[in-house]
A and B are shown apart, each in its own frame.
Chain A
Amino acid sequence: MKPTETDSTAVDWRGDSTSSSDVTRRERLKESYETRVRTPALVAWSDWRTRFGLLIIAGYILMALVAVLGLWREPSTSQAPRLLGPFVDMSYPLGTTQSGVDLMALIIHSTPTFLILITAGAVWATLIAVIIGTVAGYKGGSVDRGLMSFSDLVMAIPGLPLVIILAVTLNPENPVVLGVIINISYWAGLGRSLRSQVLTIRENNYVEASRTMGISTPRIILKDIIPNLMPYITVNFVFAARYVMFASVGLYFLGVLPYSTQNWGVTLNFAYSNGALFSWQAAHWILAPMIAIMGLSLGLILLGQGLDRVFNPRVRTRMAGESKSTAGEGDDDTVTEVF
């Protein structure tokens, strides 16, 4: 059956054509906000790990506020009967130490120091790692080789011993300086893995486009490369913070770091050396700081894991439902499970 060419009932099989509308700048911003901020935030929140992690950290921030605003007494010796058990006297809910110091006060008033400490350390490590990693990865050639040789040298020096020596030499008391010192060589591993990721990203078309347009290197790195790394950076920021905390507490525990007032690690040290390990009456003395440490690190780990899951969905080929995978550290990651 041959179709006739002058068929007036010829069907327009094309269907309706939709007119394309202009996308306003406002809509673009809104869309950007949706995809970049709101959606990942929602996905992150939906994961119980992120929720819990954030809640726990919020709790600690609250404690820090309490300390800063002076809403709870400061710790001092002989402010209360010695070695009072926990929950016995509710004005000293966690009990007291051998010298009569209120444990609750100890815990609360160390919090701001620690929060500053870990933030400073994490910021330092992440910032340096990002700068060095992206520049080395993007620039390539001799810049890359030079930076990576330097980074290898830093990685060759074991972290804690170096920190100990620096601590002894410089005697820092400022938590910010302390945070930086503790993480002084942490950036090297992170920088390396960032660099290898940048090596892949820079092959993308839009990077090449930016280069041909003559956009300056810092701007390319800032606008084209770093946004792609944000998930990885965020997750590792949290892990860096966790490392600082563990390292600092450990060093206080050893008695290596200088302190003016007690903090969790120092309290641990005192409790331990005073034999709190062996008597049941003094157990709360060593347990309280231990729990405080565990709590914050648990919060950080959960947050890190939850964030990692947002950005690295590792779903096995299952169509229905999500896998309950906790992605762990991911490929090529800095691994800090020494502690």
Chain B
Amino acid sequence: MASHTTADERYDDPTGESDPIIELNNAKVTYDGGETFVLDDVSLSVERNEVVGVVGESGSGKSMLASAMLDAIPDPGQLSGEVLYHRPDGTTVDVLELSDEELRQFRWEEVAMVFQGAMSSFNPTMKIGGHFEETLKAHDARVSEGMEFARELLSDLYLDPERVLDSYPHELSGGMTQRALIALSLVLEPDVLVMDEPTAALDLLMQRSILTLLEELQQKYDLTMVFITHDLPLVAALADRMAVMYAFDLIEVAPRDQLIGNSGHPYTRALLNSTPNLDAPLEEMRPIEGQSPAPVNVPDGCSYAPRCPLATDECREVDPEFYKTGDDHRTACHRWEEARERITLNFETAEDGAASGGSEGGT
């Protein structure tokens, strides 16, 4: 049996060149004075200029993770832990320790956030241009230069700058407001962009095009991105690393190819199988039965155990720590080796079929 090495390092650094820009350490969000929690002691380190895709179903706590990075957990939630931000000049701050004024400047200048439902993110009684101007003014930036930059961003996003700036939010389509919101989030040239389901309210074609735009922006402006979604295949194309959340905790973190091709967690594998996939036969596609637990009701032991086909008594009693299951790949599952063996990925079957039938010339 492979060794059960536990991995506590938030980022396994094979090349020794780790350069985290933002680190979440033991982030915990509780309500009712600690009775219920919606983020359970989560640690995640994000490298500079990388794209991290955080995947999870509704209610898994992924939005809390995003909000934690800006210390923006809505009342009455309480956030504890550390959020370390490493500036390019080498200094480090704990976002949670910032004063109100420092936090106000930190937000949007260094870390910005884009929400789902862009239409509701704008003040309905203000023009888009007004939003840009007031953001620039609030951060004591030069307005005329800032607006020039805003226009450039808008064109990068394939929007007509003058038209968009002069419109009210309700006058633009969903896709346009989403892109305008993205431009707004970049206008102060932040280093980190956190996106919480930025494309959920849009049609498929628009989703794909925004993803492409984001990729271009990321490269052009050297952004670090944290992309939160329930749609695994959507973010898979863009992400360098991926993290899976379940029941308010991370259960697996790995480089993208590793996560998709060689995941060690039954939930991740089930998630992959439940995704529509052209390579896999239709019958192989099934949803994951059952429901993820509510904040007040998280089971002892492994939170996925009630739904997991591989669950044993150990699983039900002992909450798994992270096991190192590959280069920079950690999984929170006691049975990770069995998972890889026994839970087949539907697209693998097709590949395997093609591979094993290779000697016959393959069809």
Which residues of A line the B interface, CB within 8 A? Answer: 1-5, 7, 9-18, 317-320
Contacts and interface: CB of A to CB of B under 8 A. Distances in A.
Contact of A1 (B270, B273, B341): B341
B315 to A, nearest CB: 14
A11 to B, nearest CB: 4
Given A14-B286, A319-B76, 16 more contacts: A3-B341, A3-B348, A4-B341, A5-B349, A7-B341, A7-B342, A7-B344, A10-B344, A11-B310, A11-B342, A12-B309, A13-B269, A14-B288, A317-B74, A319-B31, A320-B32
B76 A5 contact: no
B307 interface: yes
B77 A13 contact: no
B75 interface: yes
B61 interface: no
B340 interface: yes
Given A7-B342, A14-B289, A318 B348 contact: no
A318 B76 contact: yes
B298 to A, nearest CB: 16
Interface of B: 31-32, 74-77, 266, 269-270, 273, 286, 288-290, 307, 309-310, 337, 340-344, 348-349, 352-353, 356
A3 B76 contact: no
A318 B290 contact: no
15 contacts: A1-B337, A1-B340, A5-B349, A7-B344, A10-B342, A11-B310, A12-B309, A13-B343, A14-B286, A15-B290, A15-B307, A15-B309, A17-B289, A319-B31, A319-B76
Contacts of B342: 3, 7, 9-11
A66 to B, nearest CB: 50
Contacts of B77: 319
Contact of B340 (A3, A16, A18): A3
Nearest to B345: A3
Nearest to B33: A320
Contact of A15 (B288, B340, B341): B288
Contacts of A2: 352
A61 B348 CA distance: 75
Given A5-B353, A5-B356, A317-B74, A11 B289 contact: no
Contacts of A14: 286, 288-289
